[in-house]
Amino acid sequence: MNRNPRYDILFEPVKIGPVTAPNRFYQVPHASGMTEANPRVRSAFRETKAEGGWGVVSTGALSIHPSSDDSPLPYARLWDKNDIRSHALCCDAIHSHGALAAAELWHGGASVMNRTSRIPPYSPSGISWAATHVGFMGNLRPRIMDKKDIRDVIAWQVAAAKRAKNAGFDIVYIYAGMGYLGYEFLLEEYNHRSDEYGGSVKNRVRFVREMIESTKDAVGNNCGVALRISLEELRSKSSDSHSSEAHEVVELLSDLPDLWDVKMDSSPTDCGASRFRPECAHEPIIDFVKKVTEKPVVGVGRFTSPDTMVSQIKRGVLDLIGGARPSIADPFLPNKINEGREGDIRECIGCNICISSWHDGVPVRCTQNATAGEEWRKGWHPERFETPGSDDSILIVGGGPAGLEAGLTAARRGYQVTIADKNTQMGGRLIYETQLPGLTEWGRITDYRLNALKTMSNVNLYLDSNLEVNDILGLEHSRIGIATGAHWTKALYSSLEIAAAELNRPDVYTPDDLALGMIPEGPSLVYDFDNYYLGGVIAESLALQDINVSYATPAGHASAWTIMTNELPFVHQSLEKSGVEVYTQMLLNDFDGKKVTLSNIFTNKPKSLAIKSVIIVGLRLPNDQLYNQLMSRSSEFAQAGIKSVECIGDALAPGALVHAVYSGHEFARQLDRPPDELYLRDIPIAESPPNKVI
């Protein structure tokens, strides 16, 4: 297929100082959870994006000095010769596909705790970030930088820039966003200085200016120099001479960097989940930058539509289309547009599981793309698949996320695949969940897989097929995948922080009951110890149906785990807007049909609420009955031609959608392979002796 001419503009080269990006697709810096401990994992992860057509592929944050230490969160370093070698591996891989490599040099300032280095954090005025996320909390307060400290940081930036150039990077960053050191100098809340680095905007911008100038001197004509800057707070501040302080800052620095990389200030607004932030959510904040500078501008907006990308360029919002999450969900997004296959794009659903991976301290995971982070470890490529090791036919029982992914991956390998589902449509739990507030885009999980499966001649799809053991034994399939999902229970929660006995009453419901169309009588209580999105979304959904609803949880926040996916502030805002009363740190002790009795999990202080129905969102258990029945008749497998039967997805171990998709993908990749092949273990590159004191 040929590229649609209306997308030609996306494939024009863009000059960035002394280097030229081959097209307008720019994988902006984003965390990957891949540090120097995983250089080969990191290299393959970034290389796949270059192979997929991204013209520029960036690192995540690279610490320039031990005083920028984000441990235990995973971050990369550019401190010494070993780090140069580690990053050179990645640069070489990116260059092998004709893309540019960009290094996001970074000093965290007062926003890091330096737990490993034990160096007091640096800051303009001793103001620390008082985080509410326990993973970012710390007790060591920052030092107030004197002039020598400022000179030191600039010298560390220069040294790191030279290392970046030696490693092979084509673009080198100065980071002045997201609460880190450069940002702290720009924002008056952090910067209380009375010297030439504080006070007026012109003074507050001085540190960033000196960082840019020194970096340009360090790399000369070898590398472009980019400024990554957050503009959300600055744009909200008035200026005596400009439309806002953001306008003033950009004008003062307008043509100094070779590239402007513009973004929001906090992770929840910068990387907003689709439930709360639409595509192009950044535009109202960053739309002015191209009017102030003649240098190219890159920005993000969870862009997956090529028409939206073209609009951003033609309307003068951006010069380069930045992608972080979309580049993870589909590393081959640019190539698919270039080849006229935009219908094959595996679109990001904005669930932010990728971001939670960084909070968890592990390599990035993706709900849509099970191969993310596994390119080197398992040899999984998002667009290439091993040929079959046999002529086995595959039967997948269940057409939810795990079953569809298993079937699609097996079919792409070349197996003959049948997927049978008992429902009248495929999708499993997503059939219900995508009807809930804000979750429509999650339907892309089903749509992408079904659309692909329906075009394949080696696939049969059957609905209304409630297969039983005798059916499976008679169908003559060689390998069986049981993807029958899981079910919610009415189990309560105990002070031991585990599920307890069930509360079995007709006025007690689970999400499965609501999915069947049951409507609880109000006032209702949603009791949530699942702690992810569903309890909060159900409470919001009931409120939108004019049901008086309250929400209770043993955790300290509503949908507490959504702090990992940047959703927590907006969850509470949505519940407040919907009129849902929230009770945290609560055990549900009893319910008699007229009231519930709660008690504080720590103090046992009781609380009663007038309630007529309860919805429990807590313990899920696998629907493994079919699997167990089949295995009880394993003596008949050989006669039926069955070589293996496996549980996959929630039928094996209930989890988030990302776990179900991964499980289905792994099932198909492992067909005809030894079961003990887990993954390759990466090791650091260490050619220089590690005994030198830094």
Where in the sequence numbering do the catalytic residues fall?
A: 180
For 638, other C-beta atoms within 10 Å of its C-beta total 9
For 285, other C-beta atoms within 10 Å of its C-beta total 23
**Rounded CA gap, 625 and 666, in Å?**
22
Estimate to the nearest angstrom the gap between the alpha carbon of 361 and the chain centroid: 13
Cβ neighbours of residue 215 under 8 Å, at least 6 residues apart? 105, 157, 158, 161, 172, 174, 225
Provide the terminal-to-terminal Cα distance of the chain, rounded to the nearest Å.
Answer: 55
In sign, the C-alpha dihedral spanning 75, 78, 81, 86 is positive
**Rounded CA gap, 176 and 182, in Å?**
4
**Rounded CA gap, 44 and 641, in Å?**
39
Angle (CA) 45 50 54, round 5°: 120
DSSP line for 145-214: P-HHHHHHHHHHHHHHHHHHHHHT-SEEEEEE-TTSHHHHHHSTTT----STTSSSHHHHTHHHHHHHHH
| Buried-exposed string 112-131: b where 16+ CB fall within 10 A, e elsewhere | bbbeebeebbbbbbebbbee
In degrees rounded to 5, what are phi and psi of residue 252? -65, -30
**Rounded CA gap, 287 and 317, in Å?**
5
Q: Which helix (H) or strand (E) holds 290?
A: helix 289-292
In degrees rounded to 5, what are phi and psi of residue 357? -60, -40
Find, among 348, 324, 346, the residue nearest to 335 by Cα. 346
**Rounded CA gap, 185 and 109, in Å?**
10
Angle (CA) 528 618 541, round 5°: 50
CA atoms within 13 A on the CB side of 208: 33
**Rounded CA gap, 259 and 98, in Å?**
20
**Rounded CA gap, 229 and 182, in Å?**
9
- Long-range contacts of residues 386-391, Cβ cutoff 8 Å, at least 24 apart: 386/413, 386/669, 387/413, 387/414, 388/413, 388/414, 388/415, 388/671, 388/672, 389/671, 389/672, 389/673, 390/478, 390/672, 391/416
Cβ neighbours of residue 25 under 8 Å, at least 6 residues apart? 10, 53, 54, 55, 56, 320, 321, 323, 333, 334
**Rounded CA gap, 418 and 431, in Å?**
20
